[in-house]
Amino acid sequence: MSKEIKFSLVYRDMWQSSGKYVPRVDQLKKIAPVIIDMGCFSRIETNGGAFEQVNLLYGENPNKAVREWTKPFNEAGIQTHMLERALNGIRMYPVPADIRKLMYKVKKAQGVDIARSFCGLNDHRNLELSIKYAKEAGMISQATLSITHSEIHTIKYFMGVVDKAVEYGTDEICLKDMAGIGRPVTLGKLVSNIKDKYPHILVQYHGHSGPGFSVASILEVAKAGAEYVDVAMEPLSWGMVHPDVITIQAMLKDAGFKVPEINMKAYMKARALNQEFIDDFLGYFINPKNRYMSSLLVQPGLPGGMMGSMMADLKGVQQGLNQTLEASGKEKLTEDDLLVKLFDEVIDIWPKLGNPPLVTPFSQYVKNIALLNVMQEIQGKEKFSIIDNNAWDMIIGKAGKLPGNLDPQIIEIAKSQGKEFYTGIPQDNYPNELDKFRNEMVENGWDTGQDDEELFEFAMHERQYQDFKSGIAKQRFNEELQKIREEINKPIGTGHVKADPSKKDIASPYMGRIFYNLNYFIEEQAVELGNIVKKGQRICYIENNYTYDEIVSDYDGEVDEIFFQHGDMVSKGDVIVRLK
């Protein structure tokens, strides 16, 4: 009898790998019955990661979105699964244990069946509570390996994580090939090892199509015994997203596997609806370059979805760097020149930083350090002279144990800055806070919601939830939508103020929303006129694709002018702060 392979539609990830936003709840409700009519999906990825944060950002209640989106699949007998980042829950920074525990109870009550839990460092200690809490809530626990490729990331290494996850009680294992750089044969061998040692454990493969390995990888893991594979559908398949279900179904059928048939009439209707959502507003936030695959991603191993943000970063700094080169009589760099430099820098520094799998948020940290190093080198300055606090937390062990060893240079820089390395349990750094948020909701007269879902959302996404409740989130989203429409016709890097040669400008490298402080970083202080700024000091954050990238000063000076207020939208090249 032919072995059966089942398909999971990663509908949420299709959108997030393409652009910034996901469909509204009314759009999700519109397409759900069509997806069901396709008749080929056993599972649907419904929420998690940045999904709910995105709902809040455009003024929509994420709890309503999850309940409305999961309901039709629950009724049709299709399993739903969420993505969560273990220590980081469904946000970009660590979550206290009591809030993590509540998450699974809320999601189970909302109709989510499976918790796909990954640690970006593959530290099994961060997965332990995810498995425990998911099981206690009645969810299926799917412990997840963050797949990458290096001399360190061997089958033996990954099996060490699997062994601990099985010991903790996981029901399934997922191979999260977030950059699509897992080598097909090696992935097949890894699945064989899992199935040989733990035949009762179901295995699911998730691979992005960016560098081109994922189709071969799906065939290899299927041959090795995987039961589920993640797929996408047009117009959001391929490129930096995931392989299309049509291709995968045809390939596996030819290879002798039992696969479900696809109702092509429903597929075409769902395809048309996706395009309708793109034309409505989502397309404004989709970088066209994400529609293309690139073998350049094989060596640096960065997720394909980061290509858009990298290109924006490079465009933001290109003019300034070329002015520096021109002033010293050197040849200017094209955007492609800078991209190659950035890729080469990632390849160089990745092992020096302990080989963290390049998945959110650690891929952003490595990319940011690489970009700053490229800028510093062109300006004749020392590399690693600017490292943001979030990256330092990764380096010193507060987020978990790094897979590899730090370069002695990094260790020396850390010691020179008084950084202390941490080897304890990462969760112990973040004490419980749920009661604090519950009390604050009472003081505000806010309902904690059905199954405490509103309490959970507030505790998980404090700033975004406050902005949602006040109505400012929806206002900001409408402003952002208007801004990006204007941005399409605006020359890149034109800025909004005239240059003053006697002063130093700190400009935005890309479009996003500016924050001078984040209330979950206790030490943060807003920049004010007259402040003395040191080189390397954080000026603000730019919120871009769910992350808060630090904007630091490249100069010493005194804050002379501030051109944007907290929460404003900025364009590429806009001067944020001027120093004298």
Q: What's the mean pLDDT in 481-508?
A: 72
In the predicted structure, residue 315 carries a pLDDT above the cut 70: no
Instruction: Give the span between the Cα atoms of 273 and 279, in whole angstroms.
Output: 10
Per-position DSSP letters for 521-533, written without gaps between them? STT-----TT-EE
542: left (phi over 0), alpha (psi -120 to 50) or beta: beta
The pLDDT-based confidence of 493 (bands split at 50, 70, 90) is very low
Least confident piece of the model among 76-85, 184-193, 568-577: 568-577
- Tell me which amino acid residue 344 is: D
Give me the helices (H) in 97-141, please. 97-110, 124-136
More confident residue, 373 or 446: 446
3-state secondary structure of 98: helix
**What is residue 362's predicted lDDT score, i.e. its pLDDT?**
87
**What is residue 140's predicted lDDT score, i.e. its pLDDT?**
98
What is the C-alpha end-to-end distance of the chain, expressed in Å? 76
What share of the chain has pLDDT > 70, as a percent?
93
Query: Could you read off the pLDDT of 233-291 as tens digits, one per residue?
Result: 999 999 989 999 999 999 999 999 999 999 999 999 999 999 999 999 999 888 777 78
**What is residue 70's predicted lDDT score, i.e. its pLDDT?**
98
More confident residue, 2 or 426: 426
Specify whether the CB–CB gap between 16 and 49 falls below 8 A: yes
Domains identified in the chain and CATH numbers = 6-285 (3.20.20.70), 299-429 (no CATH), 504-579 (2.40.50.100)
Residue 6 burial (CB count, 10 A): 18
3-state secondary structure of 486: helix
Query: Could you read off the pLDDT of 182-227 as tens digits, one per residue?
Result: 999 999 999 999 999 999 999 999 999 999 999 999 999 999 999 9
Give me the helices (H) in 290-447, please. 307-327, 335-352, 362-378, 389-396, 408-416, 434-444
Token pair 């199509």 in the structure block, residue: 209
Instruction: Give the span between the Cα atoms of 28 and 60, in whole angstroms.
Output: 13
Least confident piece of the model among 74-83, 112-121, 549-558: 549-558
What's the maximum distance between 2 C-alpha atoms anywhere in the chain? 78
Closest CA to 47 of 78, 77, 16: 16
**What is residue 494's predicted lDDT score, i.e. its pLDDT?**
44
Least confident piece of the model among 46-55, 369-378, 490-499: 490-499
3-state helix, strand, coil in the chain (%, to 5): 50, 15, 35
More confident residue, 321 or 465: 465
Q: What's the mean pLDDT in 348-360?
A: 90
**For residue 562, what are the CA distances in angstroms to 147, 476, 504, 530, 540?**
43, 20, 12, 10, 11
Query: Could you read off the pLDDT of 16-45 as tens digits, one per residue?
Result: 888 888 999 999 999 999 999 999 999 999
Say what the pTM is: 0.83
In the predicted structure, residue 544 carries a pLDDT above the cut 80: no
More confident residue, 499 or 539: 539
**What is residue 522's predicted lDDT score, i.e. its pLDDT?**
41
Query: Could you read off the pLDDT of 444-486 as tens digits, one per residue?
Result: 999 999 999 999 999 999 999 999 999 999 999 998 888 877 7
Least confident piece of the model among 4-8, 34-38, 55-59: 55-59
* Average pLDDT, rounded, for the chain: 89
The pLDDT-based confidence of 555 (bands split at 50, 70, 90) is confident
Give Cβ neighbours of residue 196 (< 8 Å, ≥ 6 apart). Answer: none
Q: What's the mean pLDDT in 350-378?
A: 87
The pLDDT-based confidence of 304 (bands split at 50, 70, 90) is low
Query: Could you read off the pLDDT of 396-432 as tens digits, one per residue?
Result: 999 999 999 999 999 999 999 999 999 999 999 999 9
**For residue 575, what are the CA distances in angstroms to 268, 530, 535, 560?**
46, 17, 17, 12
The pLDDT-based confidence of 309 (bands split at 50, 70, 90) is low
The pLDDT-based confidence of 518 (bands split at 50, 70, 90) is low
